[in-house]
């Protein structure tokens, strides 16, 4: 199971268009080389240190994106309860 498919796909949607060819190659390597998707998630959320070979500018962008995404989710969470209120 993928830990958070939205993290890398949303990151890609927001960032790939602005990335250089070298960055795109590093991103491609990052999402394809590690054998475990959880590793990328742990590195992005800083739950585990990123190995030197993947600790690039692209990984730094993904880490920053994960921080902002978590902040957005925390800000948005209270709205969910309104979905379950009966209409007036």
pTM comes to: 0.74
Q: Which helix (H) or strand (E) holds 15?
A: helix 5-15
* Among candidate residues 24, 27, 54, the one with its CA nearest the CA of residue 39: 54
Q: Which two tokens stand for residue 41?
A: 């998630």
Q: Give the pLDDT mean for 65-79.
A: 74
pLDDT (average), residues 8-27: 94
Residue pair 48/42 in contact (Cβ under 8 Å)? The answer is yes
Q: Give percent above pLDDT 70 in the chain.
A: 77
Q: Among candidates 29, 31, 28, 25, which has minimal Cα distance to 44?
A: 31
CB contact at 8 A, 37 and 3: yes
Per-residue pLDDT at 13 exceeds 70? yes
Q: What is the mean pLDDT of residues 68-80?
A: 68
């Amino acid at each position: 199971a993928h830990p958070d498919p939205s993290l890398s796909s949303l990151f890609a949607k927001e960032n790939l268009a602005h990335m250089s060819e070298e960055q795109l190659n590093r991103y491609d390597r990052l999402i394809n080389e590690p054998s475990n998707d959880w590793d990328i998630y742990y590195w992005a959320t800083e739950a585990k240190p990123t190995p030197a070979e993947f600790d690039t500018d692209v990984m730094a962008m993904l880490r920053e994106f994960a921080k902002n995404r978590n902040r957005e989710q925390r800000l948005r969470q209270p709205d969910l309860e309104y979905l379950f209120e009966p209409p007036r």
